[in-house]
Chain A
């Protein structure tokens, strides 16, 4: 019975279209105060003094908090998700432009901002290091002199694969290619910025926060570790979240300041950052300086890949990666290809730039890995003069190779890659497009056709391998079935627009033969939901979706025993079909979950071992990641006079396994494709060499609009995950991961007549024009 899966309109839309969503900034408590953060104008400076007297004298100011105030409470520094420490409010020096220096609590938002102007901070500016490639120079300014014994800007080295074997293949190879490339610093920039309402009750000792959090339970644990408030006295509510994309995974200094402000004043405190604060101080993404190398045969057989990476983590290592994976899942840089060897080496450094490095729909840095390998395949195609789609087809993993252990040890669960690429090529009319391209080139028109093929690894993750700050990445779920046969599902993952209230209801409905309308999904409140690690890395469906299917099956098995009692049969003699348990061979005898639930609550004499009720809980510890994949083809027009790129078509064929709600899946893909166009063509947070941020507002940090995006052409193949209970794989980030290389490959392909082999993102008109001239920019730094 398929009551559950399929296109279903979203339950949550009813409130959103009426303007009745409740975002953090919509929370209003009686007597609530407002906070504002004073930020450093300097990228690097020693703090000589902070004078708050005038601010405190402001008639509407209730408290002024500095690092010294926090020090008394042991809150001046906080742990990051990577086990580093980050200043909540700077006490010794500021290490990036926009760093938090002081916090004002006032009667209204405007007064709080006014009072910031009254704080007098004396800075002694220091030389800054904004160029990651200079961060390890012996004379580079030392960013982290707070770390005991630290003498350099080095954070970690991490490697993966077999260096020796890879070197051997490279020595033997008929052809090798090498290319330096930057994945520039970009920002998730959800339209709702980050914020919190903190309410500490002095009498009960209970701290309640309404926060923009993608991971409410993880945040509660961290608050308990940092603030000294015991975990059972903390309630984190994530109401409606206006987009996350990874930006709302970490805990930010403003949150702790608002909590402290509430503790100091005894009143609730709201703090919502403005757009510049969001772009300049919260977690960015990427900033990976990569050198890729491929070893191949002349016939186009790719034999090995070698990568070296310089990762810019900014002033504090705030990346949210599983502990054993400091460079995230970059280890899947082997891509979708059958290789003999692979090796990567990642070195991370501190710079005087904003901290982070987690986010923006990246699947734990698979975005960077896919970009690297898909750009390299095109570089090889360029050198061998082989069609890039053909080159991929020759090297893709074949269906019979799954499960496939790649050269860095990741076990790809399932796939039929050639079928997916072929479908994309057919949808695009690939061969015809190539002919058109030739004809147009002859007339001086630049058309580019870009191909990418990606494999993701999502659904973190298996507990024995994956934890964040020691907390394993398993998810709990609870399912209650009421006597009248409706149900409430409680989940730990946190929608930021993904439609969990609909999708998760559909999973329960599918398993129990209920209508999705009869399943209420509760999320976003740690007092009302079981523990779990939250929504990022496309993990909701792979982890909590699996937990939901399993808990529903537990309920179904309990129902079987009760149904057996109702039917006076042995449980083993019952079959389940069409939402009913019935005696084998007698479908008319069936009992629905609703009928069974009523019986389980009734005076019916229950069988031995059945406690009554059907409710169940489950904690799902995934046995492996899931590996969604896809083939993307982008067609662009480039104006050789201005360098302007227009995306004419975008064909995306995704295989994310079983699709619970195809409408929602397609929506996720649409959004990711727009992200990809943004990153490939527009988005960039650059710095000048002094460390000044050049992407601090939407005037400078450009986002794609309806005019930059084409009408997407989507296709699907379905290869179920063999180990996921419903065969689903997760899709939230697939398009963000897969689309940037397709766009860049298309633009570079368009520039073929100019023999351009590579130019770094974003491919703005200026960058494309410079590439045509044979001298593309470095895009991370503005060098005058």
Chain B
């Protein structure tokens, strides 16, 4: 049995017939080939799979593709616009906010969401917002700095 899922991903419309149980992370990765979002734990603990669903970060390993029907999804592949990196992306580069890069897309999607709501977040707020996601490499310090860098260079945010 399959069901029809029509979803807007990164501004582009897709329609696919998929199994009702298909997870959003697998839909994005395997059906649409958007492999920038990663799968890491199955239990909503690690946040490697964070994407936006209707403008809010969700863990795509515990959202069914069917639940995204008629809605919009934004992934890491959409952060760069017209060849211009999002300040969050540039911040992660400038502040060594990533090592293996596996958690990075999820971290950046949450960071972008935070900065859209609060363009000048304090360190404690950044730590709170990112605390639902795990990084095994960086000890978080440089991720926090990366987000602050982005806050301080907001004029470069792609429209």
B91: nearest residue on chain A (CB-CB)?
A: A17
Q: Give every chain A residue within 8 A of B7 (Cβ-Cβ).
A: none
Q: How many A-B residue pairs have CB under 8 A?
A: 175
Interface size on A, residues (CB 8 A): 57
A7: nearest residue on chain B (CB-CB)?
A: B96
Contacts from B to A (Cβ < 8 Å): 19, 21-22, 26, 29-30, 33-43, 45-46, 48, 75-77, 79-80, 85, 89-90, 92-94, 96, 98-105, 108, 123, 126-128, 130-144
* Contact A16-B98, Cβ < 8 Å, known A190-B136, A706-B130, A707-B128: yes
B103: nearest residue on chain A (CB-CB)?
A: A191
Q: Give every chain B residue within 8 A of A274 (Cβ-Cβ).
A: 42
Asked if B127 and A707 make an inter-chain contact with CB atoms under 8 angstroms apart, the answer reads: yes
* Max chain A C-beta neighbours (<10 A), residue from B29, B38, B92, B136: B136
With both chains docked as a complex, state the minimum distance between the C-beta of A418 and any C-beta of chain B, in angstroms: 27
* Contact A9-B100, Cβ < 8 Å, known A671-B139, A699-B43, A711-B123: no
A28 to B36, CA, bound (A): 14
A496: nearest residue on chain B (CB-CB)?
A: B100
Which of A19, A28, A191, A709 is in CB contact (< 8 Å) with B140? A709
With both chains docked as a complex, state the minimum distance between the C-beta of A93 and any C-beta of chain B, in angstroms: 29
A13 to B143, CA, bound (A): 13
Contacts from A to B (Cβ < 8 Å): 9-10, 12-23, 25-26, 28, 109-110, 189-193, 240-243, 245, 274-276, 496-499, 663-664, 666-667, 669-675, 697-699, 703, 705-707, 709, 711-712
* Secondary structure type dominating chain A contacts: loop
B48: nearest residue on chain A (CB-CB)?
A: A191
With both chains docked as a complex, state the minimum distance between the C-beta of A279 and any C-beta of chain B, in angstroms: 10
A663: nearest residue on chain B (CB-CB)?
A: B96
With both chains docked as a complex, state the minimum distance between the C-beta of A205 and any C-beta of chain B, in angstroms: 30
- Can you list 17 A-B pairs with a CB-CB distance of less than 8 A? A16-B98, A17-B85, A17-B101, A17-B108, A25-B39, A192-B38, A192-B102, A276-B42, A667-B142, A670-B140, A671-B139, A674-B140, A697-B42, A697-B43, A706-B140, A707-B127, A707-B128
Which of A10, A25, A498, A672 is in CB contact (< 8 Å) with B93? A10
A318 to B40, CA, bound (A): 25
Which of A19, A189, A671 is in CB contact (< 8 Å) with B105? A19
Q: Give every chain A residue within 8 A of B133 (Cβ-Cβ).
A: 705
Q: Give every chain A residue within 8 A of B93 (Cβ-Cβ).
A: 9-10, 13-14, 17
Asked if B143 and A242 make an inter-chain contact with CB atoms under 8 angstroms apart, the answer reads: no
Asked if A697 and B136 make an inter-chain contact with CB atoms under 8 angstroms apart, the answer reads: no
A14 to B36, CA, bound (A): 13
Nearest 5 CB-CB pairings of A with B: A19-B36, A497-B100, A242-B102, A16-B101, A670-B139
Asked if A109 and B26 make an inter-chain contact with CB atoms under 8 angstroms apart, the answer reads: yes
Asked if B26 and A18 make an inter-chain contact with CB atoms under 8 angstroms apart, the answer reads: no
Asked if A667 and B99 make an inter-chain contact with CB atoms under 8 angstroms apart, the answer reads: yes
Asked if B136 and A10 make an inter-chain contact with CB atoms under 8 angstroms apart, the answer reads: no
* Max chain B C-beta neighbours (<10 A), residue from A16, A20, A274, A699: A16
With both chains docked as a complex, state the minimum distance between the C-beta of B17 and any C-beta of chain A, in angstroms: 14
With both chains docked as a complex, state the minimum distance between the C-beta of B33 and any C-beta of chain A, in angstroms: 8
Which of A193, A496, A669, A673 is in CB contact (< 8 Å) with B40? A193
Asked if A497 and B99 make an inter-chain contact with CB atoms under 8 angstroms apart, the answer reads: yes
Asked if B38 and A191 make an inter-chain contact with CB atoms under 8 angstroms apart, the answer reads: yes
Asked if B141 and A23 make an inter-chain contact with CB atoms under 8 angstroms apart, the answer reads: no
Asked if B101 and A240 make an inter-chain contact with CB atoms under 8 angstroms apart, the answer reads: yes
A671 to B136, CA, bound (A): 7
Q: Give every chain A residue within 8 A of B96 (Cβ-Cβ).
A: 9-10, 663-664, 666-667
